[in-house]
Amino acid sequence: MLKRIFAPALCALLLAGCATMADRLRGSLEPPAERGYAIVSLTGKSANPDSATLGLDIANASGRVVAADSASLLTDTVFGEQGKSMAEGKLMLFTLEPGSYRVEQVWANWLEDGAWGVSRKMRSFRLAAPFEVKRGEAVYLGNVEVEMSFLPEARLRDESERDLAHVRRIWKIKDVSGVQLRPLGQAHP
């Protein structure tokens, strides 16, 4: 009985969170005046996704953290094209002043089953992956994927096909052709 009540409430909450970004953007990836957008997905894999959370910090050229966001593998999902696989995590949008930045670090917090029972694991990964934001530009930085296992690691990937499909489907942005693709950790012209 409780599951039948909880499941629709959880779905409504998830849809409300997605609608919030679509409502905020109103069909356009045009940043506010004198600003730019940085788009990055933060996803993870865990044996216990219901307990796993991830976070990402962005630092400016001085090394000061100027933006941060987090994702829950229980409630956040990055959706790709209809019928294709999705990823547990979150597609993040940061509004930043023009300038040089870096994804300073990501962190993960999860429960892990062990020989002596369940234990809480926490790990941070220093990335210091540089990127630039230009005035009036939306730049896609790629995907930071965190593997939460006995040998945890963070990887930088280009998941632009999946992530831009999420922008179109969930954020309700029809035209993503203006998004600049500059995935972290890759050479750019």
Task: Please write the tens of the pLDDT for every residue from 29-87.
Answer: 899 999 999 999 999 999 889 999 999 999 999 999 999 999 999 999 999 888 888 99
82: CB partners within 8 A, 6+ apart:
169
- CB 56 within 8 Å of CB 44: no
Alpha carbon of residue 178 to chain centroid? 20
Strands (E), 81-179: 87-96, 99-114, 117-133, 138-148, 153-157
pLDDT of 5: 44
Ranges 17-21, 68-72, 124-128: which has the least confidence:
17-21
What is the pTM assigned to this prediction? 0.85
Q: Which pLDDT value is given to residue 24? A: 84
A 10 A CB-CB count for 172 gives 16
pLDDT tens column, 133-150: 999 999 999 999 999 987
The single residue listed with the structure tokens 């779905």 is 11
Residues 6+ apart with CB under 8 A from 79: 86, 165, 166, 169, 170
